[in-house]
A and B are shown apart, each in its own frame.
Chain A
Amino acid sequence: MTYPVQVVAPQDVVLPPVSDIELGRRRYRRDRAVRSTAVAAVSTLLFAFVVAFGLSRAPGWSRIQQSFFDFSLAKKSFHPILDGLWLNLRVLAVSEVCILALALLVAGLRTVQGAVFFPVRVLATAYVDFFRGLPLIILLYLIGFGVPGLRFSWLPNNPTVLGTIALVLCYGAYVAEVFRSGIQSVHPSQRAAAASIGLTYMQSMRLVILPQAIRRVVPPLLNDFVALQKDVGLISVLGAIDAVRQAQILQAQYFNFTPYVVAGLMFVVLAIPTGRVADAAAARARRREQSGSLV
């Protein structure tokens, strides 16, 4: 049985002229937009003025200015801290790749079905429970100073490598849970449909479940990525000098907190692109999944 389908080419559609009422609406909206921009600008300026005035009236303002915003020290500490940040970035890149791989594996193992895989599920759950619960700093100590203490010559003894391993173990557990939530959010009918057209478990996972699951968890993944950007610096307890550690060295040398401000701003700048990517990903998901339901 066939249904008659009427196809209308876009160029054939002739829109009626815009009515005066609609034009009036558009003008009104434009006026409101201009007005709200102006109000926002004035209120921002006023707020900035109140904050600046309030701060400058603080009795300790000159001390704070000297201790936290010393421009010449900021200039002096910029390059050493940037060198430290380069270590952060390298560790971040390597650990993020390893984390995603490990987390996907663990999430897969945790959601694998069938009675025979019970021990696998238990192990994966135990891993997540343990490494998500263990404070990262303690994990760093255990891996960084404990593992080399075993004195196996084949084990790594570089603090950066050991620190990266600890980061991967800790964040792997968090991200595994993000992936699991994504996998479990895909409706079971999808799996059933995949099975009905003859896909194996692995195939349905790869072709049907994961593409949907991962798309759904991109915003929380980026959230964890920003958190990792900052936690990478914790490996400095093992001896490597990252941006924050370099700032601490300079702070102790000059008894001045400006280097911390410099390092802090660098991390903020680093996090902004990730934030925008996260926003864009969320907007894209909204467009795709909630199209036609403007709120």
Chain B
Amino acid sequence: MPRLRLVNKAAAVAALTTIVSGVGAASVGAASGTPTKATSGPLGSSCAPASLKTVKAGEITIGVDDPLYQPWFASNNPKTGKGFEDAVDYAIAGELGYPRSATAFTRVTFDDAIQPGPKSFDYDLDEFTITTARAKEVDFSAPYYTVAQAVVGLKGSAAAKSHTLAAVRKLQLGAQVGTTSYSVITNQIKPVRAPRVYNDNNDAEAALQDGQIQGLVMDLPTAFEVTTGEVKGTTIIGQLPLAGQPSSFGALLDKGSPLTTCVSKAVVALKANGTLAKLQTKWLARVGKAPELK
């Protein structure tokens, strides 16, 4: 599995660069006499496995949705490390000092992830868009990806020729429930007809093919995944301007989780050393440019 190894290498390179550049407090931890095993993280002793209060001691538990979709995960199996969020999951764990063997996954539905009770995971990357309203109920890490929203339509349909925001406004639009895509329809596009909402994108795609909706709004990477593979005969009508819309994905943690600062630090470090950019080119390579709707 060459791809797997590549991810590991990326994480290792990331870890190495942080230590070498002396960003982390690892040297401080070593100086103060903390036993530094191979598992001690590059972010310093306060963010090392020994001092992190994880759900299961000595192990990091990552929440993942069920089912998982490309390009964020591959073949509904988070253990592969394939897919952008899967790779970032492992990279964050690596940054915190957890080797692959100490990284576990647990399936978490959307409702389960945001409910107020105790969480079964330490962090969860599942295309959660960071907003201030949501941050009142859960903790978010620093953003790991900025995403644009796109409108998908049927190839050759009249809707596919809508090149302006004004034209898209007249379409019957739909989106998956609970997504930023839906908020974007109501807050940014403000369509003439009330949008339709579906349990998931599979249902929404069925509605698109049945002609019940003319435009399906989804995030750009998913839109590329859908139009270039999953659903035949679909095309990206255009992407929506980013300005003024919440568009950053963050790792979700329990409100007041003791890990939030460390996971955030890990994301910042991964961004600073270019790991995130690398993983993005690797796993979101299909994401090209779509014409912007103005």
Query: Is B157 close to A, CB under 8 A?
Result: no
- Contact assessment for B197 and A245 in the assembled complex, using a CB-CB cutoff below 8 Å: yes
- Contact assessment for A145 and B206 in the assembled complex, using a CB-CB cutoff below 8 Å: yes
- Contact assessment for A148 and B115 in the assembled complex, using a CB-CB cutoff below 8 Å: no
Q: Using a Cβ–Cβ cut-off of 8 Å, how many residues does chain B contribute to the interface with A?
A: 34
| Chain A residue at minimum C-beta to C-beta distance from B207 | A239
Query: Is B182 close to A, CB under 8 A?
Result: yes
> Contacts A237-B198, A241-B194, A253-B183: A149 and B117 contacting too (C-beta < 8 A)?
no
Query: Is A154 close to B, CB under 8 A?
Result: no
| Chain A residue at minimum C-beta to C-beta distance from B134 | A255
Query: Is A36 close to B, CB under 8 A?
Result: no
Contacting residue for A239 out of B114, B115, B174, CB 8 A: B174
B139 to chain A, nearest CB (A): 11
Query: Is B137 close to A, CB under 8 A?
Result: yes
- What is the 8 Å Cβ interface bit string for chain A, positions 36-69, against chain B (1 contact, 0 not)? 0000000000000000000000001001101110
- Contact assessment for A67 and B210 in the assembled complex, using a CB-CB cutoff below 8 Å: no
- Contact assessment for A254 and B133 in the assembled complex, using a CB-CB cutoff below 8 Å: yes
A84 to chain B, nearest CB (A): 11
A203 to chain B, nearest CB (A): 46
- Contact assessment for B210 and A157 in the assembled complex, using a CB-CB cutoff below 8 Å: yes
- Contact assessment for B210 and A145 in the assembled complex, using a CB-CB cutoff below 8 Å: yes
- Contact assessment for A254 and B134 in the assembled complex, using a CB-CB cutoff below 8 Å: yes
A145 to B174, CA, bound (A): 14
Query: Is B138 close to A, CB under 8 A?
Result: yes
- Contact assessment for A245 and B116 in the assembled complex, using a CB-CB cutoff below 8 Å: no
| Chain B residue at minimum C-beta to C-beta distance from A65 | B116
**B-chain residues with CB within 8 Å of residue A274 when the two chains form the complex:** none
**B-chain residues with CB within 8 Å of residue A256 when the two chains form the complex:** 136-137
Partner-B contacts on A (CB < 8 A)? 60, 63-64, 66-68, 145, 148-149, 157-159, 236-241, 245, 248-249, 251-257
Partner-A contacts on B (CB < 8 A)? 110-111, 114-117, 131, 133-134, 136-138, 174, 177-179, 182-183, 194-199, 203-204, 206-207, 209-213, 255
